[in-house]
Homo-oligomer: A and B are copies of this chain.
Amino acid sequence: MVKVGINGYGTIGKRIADAVKLQDDMELIGATKTRPSYEARMAVEHGIPLYAAKDAEVFEAAGIKMEGTLDDLLAQVDIVVDCTPGGVGAQYRDVYKGAGVKAIFQGGEDHVTAGISFNAMANYRDAYGADLVRVVSCNTTGLIRTLYPLTQAFGVDNVFASLIRRSVDPPASKGSGVNFIEPSLKLPTHHGPDVKTVLSDISIQTMAVKVPTTLMHVHCINVKLSRPATKDEVLEVWSRTPRVRFVRGGDGVRSSAQIMDMARDLGTRRGDMMDIVVWEDGVSVIDRNLYYYQAIHQESDVVPEIVDCIRSMCKLQDGAASSMAKTNATLGLKG
């Protein structure tokens, strides 16, 4: 049983906590929190041991029982999943190393923070036994999930993707406007280079805009395949790809809103959709040009990748297939 700690019990952290508790080869030791809040109270109610990331007294004042500090947590774990806000994780790098604990960073950190960037299907073995690994961001994970199998099946000469990004996560009261479309003016956006931290040989350019929605990101993707393929061949490849799921506009799934409603019907915890969702009736192939739309649930799609990353770093499973199978079964993902 690998002992796991989580530094930062927020949007990603709380999902990792729940996912780890479902694995039979891992034990959740606890998670840190910086400030008392409803999220902290829910954690305590659900039996997640909480540790104070900084000041423990504010929790006492709020009547929330803490098990200790970050140092106390690090002293008990084999591996810590850093779920602090983007850019903050790098500051903890030496703390984790000093404590002799393996660490996983999020996509909000630079590749150099860990030196290895991870996606279970694409490069599970690169993280095998490693001490520091970064799991790429939600958008990058989404791109790799559908592009990697295309590189294997047909070869990929070039990718151009436009990312339509949600502006804030669902619980946010701030950080967004209301009525706008905002482009990412620094071109190319960081998403293309980020894909290359995992798929080093791919040629990819990206543009991105932010829009006033909370639910999911949507990608418009144009792939130049290395050899001609039919739409059916492409669909067949993805139908065999874990964590890639089809929906159909013809079934009434016209937008990200219906996808997330469907996820609620599926009965996943929090109504999460950890699979990448491709509109089956929105795929088009003309000669070697493939066009498709995919939707990414930014709150949760990296969760199974992090679970697999723990397995790889702690040598719990030799290869991606067996680790992903365990993760998919416990989290209800498409296998």
Give A contacts to B, CB under 8 Å. 14, 36-39, 41-43, 46, 62, 160, 162, 164, 166-168, 170-183, 185, 187-188, 205, 207-218, 220, 222, 247-249, 251-258, 260-262, 264-267, 269-271, 279, 281-284, 286, 289, 291, 293, 295
Q: In whole angstroms, what is the CA distance A260 to B42 when docked?
A: 13
Given contacts A39-B265, A41-B251, A183-B282, contact A171 B271 (CB under 8 A): no
> A285 → chain B, closest Cβ, in Å?
10
Question: Do residues B222 and A160 form an inter-chain contact, with CB atoms below 8 A?
Answer: yes
Q: In whole angstroms, what is the CA distance A55 to B215 when docked?
A: 34
Question: Do residues B171 and A167 form an inter-chain contact, with CB atoms below 8 A?
Answer: no
Given contacts A177-B174, A257-B177, A265-B14, contact A222 B205 (CB under 8 A): yes
Question: Do residues B183 and A262 form an inter-chain contact, with CB atoms below 8 A?
Answer: no
Question: Do residues B271 and A179 form an inter-chain contact, with CB atoms below 8 A?
Answer: no
Q: In whole angstroms, what is the CA distance A187 to B249 when docked?
A: 13
Question: Do residues B257 and A179 form an inter-chain contact, with CB atoms below 8 A?
Answer: yes
> A281 → chain B, closest Cβ, in Å?
5
With A180-B256, A183-B279, A187-B282 given, can you name 4 additional A-B contacts, CB distance below 8 Å?
A178-B178, A180-B215, A181-B216, A264-B270
Task: Note all chain B residues with C-beta closer than 8 A to A283.
Answer: 187
Task: Note all chain B residues with C-beta closer than 8 A to A38.
Answer: 247-248, 251-253, 258, 262, 265
> A189 → chain B, closest Cβ, in Å?
10
Question: Do residues B255 and A182 form an inter-chain contact, with CB atoms below 8 A?
Answer: yes
Question: Do residues A293 and B164 form an inter-chain contact, with CB atoms below 8 A?
Answer: no
Q: Which of B178, B267, B284 contacts A179 (CB 8 A)?
A: B178
Question: Do residues B182 and A177 form an inter-chain contact, with CB atoms below 8 A?
Answer: no
Given contacts A209-B218, A213-B211, contact A177 B183 (CB under 8 A): no
Q: In whole angstroms, what is the CA distance A289 to B289 when docked?
A: 17
Question: Do residues A220 and B177 form an inter-chain contact, with CB atoms below 8 A?
Answer: no
5 contacts between A and B (CB under 8 A): A172-B177, A173-B182, A173-B255, A181-B217, A187-B291
Task: Note all chain B residues with C-beta closer than 8 A to A252.
Answer: 37-39
Given contacts A160-B222, A170-B257, A220-B207, contact A214 B179 (CB under 8 A): yes
Given contacts A220-B162, A220-B209, A261-B171, contact A181 B42 (CB under 8 A): no
Question: Do residues B291 and A188 form an inter-chain contact, with CB atoms below 8 A?
Answer: yes
Task: Note all chain B residues with C-beta closer than 8 A to A264.
Answer: 270-271
Task: Note all chain B residues with C-beta closer than 8 A to A182.
Answer: 173, 254-257
Q: In whole angstroms, what is the CA distance A17 to B298 when docked?
A: 30
> A97 → chain B, closest Cβ, in Å?
32
Q: In whole angstroms, what is the CA distance A187 to B286 when docked?
A: 10
Task: Note all chain B residues with C-beta closer than 8 A to A295.
Answer: 181
> A40 → chain B, closest Cβ, in Å?
8
